[in-house]
Amino acid sequence: MTRTTPPRPLDVEALFPGLAAHRGTTTRLHPRPGKPEASVSSVGGPMLWPADEPWPVCTEAHGRGRGRRPADIRRERQILATAWARATTPGPTDEERGLVEELRRPHRIPEASETDPLPLIGLVQLYRRDIPDLTGGPDDCDLLQVFWCPFDAHGPGRYDMLLDLRWRRSAEVGEVLALPPQPQVVGFDGYVPEPCVLHPEQVVTYPFAGLLPEELCARIDAWEQALEEEAEQSDDDDSADPVGYQYDLSIPPGWRAGGFASWHTTDPSPEDCPTCATPMKLLLTIDSSEWDGGSASWRPLEERDLVPHPSATPTKIRVVRDGELNIFECPADPEHPHCWNLQ
């Protein structure tokens, strides 16, 4: 099934013609639970990884011997999904509650040292043929694979995440690794993806308001403020939130490739490549939800009739208090180190 973004509530370029010069595109990935194979783009699906190539590992020193088992996390999700889907008396029974409590118990691996090579989790793989806005990477590579360490324990402060991005030529992969290693325990359940197939859809997008020319940004701010005041004065509790540039008109929520980063929790702080000083470009956004109450206007037409919650968090990935992770690439040389930002 395709996924179709509804038309925006209003034509923002008609309102602010200056925006046309800043129009871009992004590809919403629309991940949904499924059974992807290594030959297709997926979140949390099997990676097209050569059987004779070492699987990516984390070797940074940090505790890795205590956490939850990935199989327990998936089982808990299954139990809760089944419980909440029951037509009569939805929600977990006492028995299910007890089971979930047991599954949430942390486990210890006594023999794990702080520097044992820890298998990374395969998070997402994207074939260029599927994703129009997957424009980064070396020209001769057609597959991007993203891995991460399931512990918040890296960098100088020892609380950062660790990502590993690989580009490859899929035609060169012979035998595929059938059973990739996986961590025995993870530090946080939000690092463990549910297998999802993708339904890529290219949509129009505009930059974060704070990164537009000052005059244009000021006009958008003034327009939004007027709408908010109008809504406050209308005194009608049932009226929906007014349409806004940030949440309805510029940057879609959810997993997406290319386009513009949102800077809604910090001041805009786009970075230059640490190696060559070229401004970095957004490669991929990993989001904790596909939409929520504030961004419900992006909910695909095909899913208008579903209960909001289950469809909004199909991957079960959670980054920074249900926020999003933006991964940037150097457009001058994709071999230069990536950088990322949490919002």
Interacting residues with Zn ion (CB under 5 A)? 58, 60, 149, 151, 162, 273, 275-276, 278, 330, 332-333, 336
CB of 58 to Zn ion, least distance (A): 3
CB of 148 to Zn ion, least distance (A): 9
CB of 22 to Zn ion, least distance (A): 23
Of 148 and 206, which has the nearer Cβ to Zn ion?
Answer: 148
CB of 342 to Zn ion, least distance (A): 16
CB of 332 to Zn ion, least distance (A): 5
CA angle 316-342-284, nearest 5°?
Answer: 70
CB of 210 to Zn ion, least distance (A): 24
